[in-house]
Amino acid sequence: MAPFEALYGKCCRSPVCWGEVGEQRMLGPELVRTTNAAIQKIRARMMTSQSRQKSYADVRRKDLEFEVGDMVFLKVAPMEGVLRFVKKGKLSPRFVGPFEILERIGPVAYRLALPPSFSAVHDVFHVSMLRRYVADPTHVVDFKPLQVSENLSYEEQPVEVLAREVKKLCSREISLVKVLWQNHGVEEATWEKEEDMRAQYPELFEV
């Protein structure tokens, strides 16, 4: 079944056949008048269908509004994410931030507090590009004071062993441990040789 037939309940006919089916032949002004009447009827039915679908969609929609001081994420397009927001790669995030709202510009635009690295980006955005950020205490990383040496370096300290694994290489088996380091997230944990870690940090393996 063609889309036209599914929508209007009848087969689509060419302009020369938009009149009633029969042997009558329409020519001149009569053809134009009949065609215009059919076009007006089609437009009215399309408008009715669009209005009906819009009423269904509007039930699940609501206007987005933010207050000054709210934190929001900023939606970026793939190309903008690479060139304007310094986010490279196919798996670059669709949103950056969160950023604080400084000012409301009209009914649908907001000014954001962007970092200096975004100096080339205009700081006013349409509401459709914003997503509300809900504060979560787990998102805050509490960094302990670091003992920094004279050359501005510090020693990494392991926190705990997250996992163990045995890697086979030819006739050898190497025991590995996944180590969580101080001041780093779980996603930054590294695989190290268990033998070396036991020698350097024996307290890490004490039960």
Contact 121, 85 (CB under 8 A): yes
Q: Please check whether residue 199 lies inside any domain of the structure.
A: yes
For residue 206, pLDDT over 70 is answered with yes
Are 89 and 130 in the same domain? Answer: yes
For 180, residues 6+ apart whose C-beta sits below 8 A from its C-beta are 158, 159, 160, 161, 162, 186, 189
Cβ-contact 176, 190 below 8 angstroms = no
Q: What pLDDT was estimated at residue 151?
A: 54
Q: What percent of the chain has pLDDT over 90?
A: 0
Quote the pLDDT of residue 207: 63
Residue 35 resides in a domain:
yes
**CATH number for the domain including 187?**
2.40.50
Give a yes or no: residue 146 inside a domain.
Answer: no
- Residue 22's domain comprises 3-50
pLDDT in tens, 46-55: 888 888 888 8
Which tops the pLDDT comparison, 134 or 40? Answer: 40
Q: Is residue 22 part of a domain?
A: yes
| Span 71-83, average pLDDT | 64
Tell me if 55 is assigned to some domain: no
Q: How confident is the model at residue 93 (pLDDT cuts 50, 70, 90)?
A: low
Say yes or no: 81 and 110 in one domain: yes
pLDDT of residue 115: 81
Pair (85, 119) in one structural domain: yes
Cβ-defined contacts of 37-46 (< 8 Å, 24+): 42/8, 45/7, 45/8
Q: Are 110 and 125 in contact (CB under 8 A)?
A: yes
Type of residue numbered 115: P
In a domain, 151, yes or no: no
Same domain? For 75 and 129 the reply is yes
Q: Is the pLDDT of residue 94 over 80?
A: no
Q: Looking at the structure, do residues 134 and 80 belong to the same domain, yes or no?
A: yes
Query: What mean pLDDT comes out for the span 32-45?
Result: 85
Whether residues 42 and 88 fall in one domain: no
Q: Residues 45, 90: one domain?
A: no
Top-confidence range, 24-28, 165-169, 174-178: 174-178
Q: Is residue 144 in some structural domain?
A: no
- Give 136-168 pLDDT, tens digit per residue: 766 655 555 555 555 555 567 788 888 888 888
What was the pLDDT predicted at 84? 46
Please indicate, yes or no, whether residues 81 and 119 belong to a single structural domain of this protein: yes
Q: What pLDDT shows up at residue 116? A: 81
Among 128, 117, 133, 190, which Cα is nearest to 158's?
A: 190
The CA-atom distances, in angstroms, between 168 and each of 14, 60, 174, 198 are 73, 55, 6, 20
Same domain, 165 and 193: yes
Q: What is the pLDDT of residue 79?
A: 46
> d(Cα 200, Cα 194) in Å, to the nearest integer?
10
- The per-residue pLDDT for range 96-140, each reduced to its tens digit, is 778 888 888 888 888 888 888 777 778 888 888 888 887 776 665
The domain tally of the chain equals: 3
In this structure, the dihedral spanned by the alpha carbons of residues 138, 90, 127 and 84, taken in order and rounded to 10 degrees, is 100
Handedness of CA 155, 159, 163, 168 (dihedral sign): positive
